[in-house]
Amino acid sequence: MLNVVRQDIITAGTAVNAARPAVTSAGTAVVPVANAGTAVNLEDVSKVFTQWQRSGKFKDLLRNLVKPEKKVVAALDHVSLKVNNGEFVAYAGANGAGKSTTIKILSGILQPTSGAVTVLGMSPEKSRVELMRRIGVVFGQRTELWWDHPISVSFEWKKTVWNIPAEVYRHQLEMVTELLDLGDLLNTFARELSLGQRMRADLAMMLLHNPELIFLDEPTLGLDVLAKRQMINFLKRINREQGTTIIVTSHDMDDLEEMAQRIVLLSRGQIAFDGSFDELRQLTGNLCRI
């Protein structure tokens, strides 16, 4: 899957341009951010996976080969969701609720079984290359960094392959280096980074082309308290000062409440709640880890 994503990144880079304003290290936009509008729209979206069930019993070996049983699993079940530009939305739910599936559909990695999806006015399925010039995606347990090279080499690779304008790259690199405290790590090999350092570097690399919409799938998973604090503060800042639209998934409700203004709670592939954290607390009591 990563090879597929990397190839799409290379393709997108051949025509990438400054789709939105560069921002200085102080957080000041060079030009105004995008006008208000809809960043994400899901209309009655479902995603069904087919799983082949095989018995572990010796007597069933022949049947497993000739006629394995098929099981249909609905990862998303008629989900409708709208996210406006500039929103910071928490997308929460237990394991298997459909969070990662949604992110993959929104970023064009997966296609829905049914329903309509638009991201920044485009179909992720039909306009994936163009869409990738304007969005950023980070999966907590994966990396786009070159494992056996300093992270600065990975950054330069992205600048070259994506054809990021020099001024945009310079502004973004200055900003992420300062705000994510990467100055002493730029010449460190990716394989030598701690989990928290790698997550900061991945986040920085994702932001080098100045995306207007970012998807973060479990970005704080496994991070220590300090690394988590740096991540949360940075995300809140780019949302506030750049107007970057952010959709983040996590199991930790405390982290989500600190970051986002709105929470969408997913249960068994369906939206069980969409509103503020205060409203959710009134319904369920104290928030906790899902």
Give the pLDDT confidence score for residue 17 in this predicted structure. 43
Domain residue limits, the chain: 2-44+81-284
- Each residue's pLDDT tens digit, 163-212: 999 999 999 999 999 989 899 999 999 999 998 899 899 999 999 999 99
Confidence of residue 4 (pLDDT cuts 50, 70, 90): very low
CATH number of 2-44+81-284: 3.40.50.300
Q: Which candidate, 122, 144, 174, places its Cα nearest to that of 10?
A: 144
φ, ψ for residue 183 (rounded to 5)?
Answer: -55, -45
Q: What is the C-alpha to C-alpha distance for residues 211 and 133, in angstroms, rounded to an integer?
A: 7
Do the beta carbons of residue 243 and residue 86 sit within 8 Å? yes
Confidence at residue 251, expressed as pLDDT on a 0 to 100 scale? 81
pLDDT in tens, 72-116: 889 999 999 999 999 999 999 888 899 999 999 999 999 999 999
Q: State if pTM tops 0.85.
A: no
What is the DSSP annotation of the chain?
-HHHHHHHHHHHHTS----S--B-TTS-BSSPPPPS-EEEEEEEEEEEEEEEE---SGGGHHHHHHS-EEEEEEEEEEEEEEEETT-EEEEEESTTSSHHHHHHHHTTSS--SEEEEEETTB-TTTSHHHHHTTEEEEETT---S-TTSBHHHHHHHHHHHTT--HHHHHHHHHHHHHHTT-TTTTTSBGGGS-HHHHHHHHHHHHHTT--SEEEEESTTTT--HHHHHHHHHHHHHHHHHH--EEEEEESBHHHHHHH-SEEEEEETTEEEEEE-HHHHHHHHSS--B-
| Section 117-125 average pLDDT | 95
Q: What is the mean pLDDT of residues 25-43?
A: 60
